[in-house]
Amino acid sequence: MPDTLPDDLPEVPPADINRVEPDADTTAGPHDVSMETIVELCKRRGIVFQSSEIYGGLRGAWDYGPLGVALKDNVKAAWRRAMVQLRDDVVPLDASILMHPRVWEASGHVEGFTDPLIECRNCNQRFRADHLELEADGTPGACPNCGARDWSHPKAFNLMFRTFVGPTEDTAAQVWLRPETAQAMFVDFATVQLTSRQKVPFGIAQIGKSFRNEITPRNFIFRVREFEQMEMEFFVRPGTDERWHDYWIAQRWNWYLGLGMRPENLRVRDHAKDELSHYSRGTVDVEYRFPFAWSELEGIANRGDFDLTRHSEYSGKDLSYFDAEREERYLPYVIEPAAGVDRTTLAFLCDAYREEQVTSQSGKTDRRVVLRLAHALAPVKVAVLPLSRNEALVPTAREVSALLKPRWAVQYDDAGSIGKRYRRQDEVGTPFCVTVDFETVESDRAVTVRDRDSMTQERVAIDRLTGYLEERLQF
Ligand code: ATP
């Protein structure tokens, strides 16, 4: 063994990973919050709600309202920061959703991107056969809709949405809406490598929409038909792949914890051999303890050279890489951390949700709902609240808002009692509320800053306010 590591083998960062066996129990157990509560909060506060609601909605499609846009953007920004901005060895890509149809033949999706579809002959409802409860003999149990046990034979159902380019709807014009963002990173590998002058090991990262015609969309934004993914393909020298796989598992674990996710709600589950995708040399799922079950947030796969081999074959273009230092040519192996934006957003929402008993200054006990979101994720960082709509307060309150707006997402709210406004901000996770009162304008030019988590209040001079918040807003 050489006593120094080859320079393309990483140190695996320390991470206290809760790693479980492939067949680990998925029962969620008692949770701080139910899905109904989260769905209700999201709807009431315009975070996420049904798409096309006035027409009765469309299954598996959801809209993100003003606060939801900010929350989701913050999740993506945190990912981009960790995966691209803070690194020298990962570069971004924003590829087209519509790609040449041969891409999906090469990737194996046309042939194999299927789920087993099964139909209840009694009520004609369709289900994913692998999502049904099984009897002891391995056959599907009662229909979850009508209770009958009269099933069709399962058939393979391709999840890709198809559409047509141009005016003719024939097979020559048929294209697919991408079911994952990953393929563009393989197809564009050589161009990106060359133009960005990266050397293996390096990665290409992309955030974008993907589409899957899921048989049974469910659990709010957990399983939908149109969603966003955050994927990174990390190209490595064959033989270094296992170490890089461990490296990325640790990195990704630390990313979730760094954003405040409670470690007891997170685990890494190894895939069983028969669960591995056709391309995979090893996969783990990062799973979150959602109120409904432990479920996948992210897959981290060692894809070997499957993708570059296939795209070389199907396109006729050599996608091998010449390693000038080692003077060898090879097809890089790929480590892929692939996460879902919507699922991750839902997990952060569930994890942050708390209901607390609080005692007001007058001694009254009250219940408050608070989202203890990491500051980086909170949709609004600072709320500016004039004590009342009294005209004397408005100019200074507006001035404070204008002072903070260039730096942070600020919300100005003057509607209702101050207590109610605090609750409204707690409920969406705003870390700080700044109150402008009569003393502010009449005597001290200071404001009251209230902290979301401790609920303590401090008087801070307007001149010092930016610095005060800068010290406390951690991201
Ligand atoms: P599942 O087994 O739950 O269908 P998957 O293993 O097929 O997911 P991948 O192909 O590994 O998912 O996709 C990577 C990530 O994209 C998933 O971990 C998930 O976060 C997200 N994702 C996949 N399908 C959906 C969907 N229908 N709705 C929302 N997010 C999704």
The predicted structure's pLDDT at residue 3: 55
Measured in angstroms, how far is the CA atom of residue 385 from the centroid of ligand 1? 41
**Residues 207-260: pLDDT tens digits?**
999 999 999 999 999 999 999 999 999 999 999 999 999 999 999 999 999 999
Q: Calculate mean pLDDT across residues 117-133.
A: 93
Using DSSP, state whether 455 is helix, strand or coil: coil
The predicted structure's pLDDT at residue 1: 45
Angle, vertex CA 43, rays to CA 38 and CA 47, nearest 5: 85
Q: How far apart are the first and last CA of the chain?
A: 42
Alpha carbon nearest to ligand 1 atom 16, residue = 340
DSSP calls for 147-195? ----BPPPEEEE---EEESSS--SGGGEEEB-S-SHHHHHHTHHHHHHH
According to CATH, where is 3.40.50.800 located in the chain? 380-472
Q: Calculate mean pLDDT across residues 336-343.
A: 98
Q: Calculate mean pLDDT across residues 109-113.
A: 95
Using DSSP, state whether 336 is helix, strand or coil: strand
The CATH homologous superfamily of the domain defined by 19-101+159-349: Bira Bifunctional Protein; Domain 2 (3.30.930.10)
**Residues 129-157: pLDDT tens digits?**
988 988 888 889 999 999 999 999 999 99
Is it the case that residue 181 has pLDDT exceeding 60? yes
Does the beta carbon of 276 sit less than 6 angstroms from any atom of ligand 1?
no
Is it the case that residue 2 has pLDDT exceeding 60? no
According to CATH, where is 3.30.930.10 located in the chain? 19-101+159-349
Distance, in Å, from the CA atom of 83 to the CA atom of 91, rounded to the nearest integer, reads 9
The pair of structure tokens assigned to 261 is 């996710």
Three-state SS across 46-94?
CCEEECCHHHCCCCCCEEECHHHHHHHHHHHHHHHHHHHHCCCCEEECC
Q: Calculate mean pLDDT across residues 411-424.
A: 95
Does the beta carbon of 107 sit less than 6 angstroms from any atom of ligand 1?
no
The predicted structure's pLDDT at residue 4: 62
Is it the case that residue 441 has pLDDT exceeding 70? yes
Please report the atom of ligand 1 found closest to the CA of residue 341.
20
Q: Calculate mean pLDDT across residues 194-208.
A: 98
Is it the case that residue 99 has pLDDT exceeding 80? yes
Is it the case that residue 51 has pLDDT exceeding 50? yes
The predicted structure's pLDDT at residue 234: 98
Q: Calculate mean pLDDT across residues 327-355.
A: 98
* Range with lowest mean pLDDT among 137-146, 425-434, 436-445: 137-146
In one-letter notation, the amino acid at residue 380 is: V
Is it the case that residue 282 has pLDDT exceeding 80? yes
CA neighbor of 206 nearest in space, from 176, 177, 235, 184? 184
Does the beta carbon of 343 sit less than 6 angstroms from any atom of ligand 1?
yes
Fold exhibited by the domain 380-472 = Rossmann fold (3.40.50)
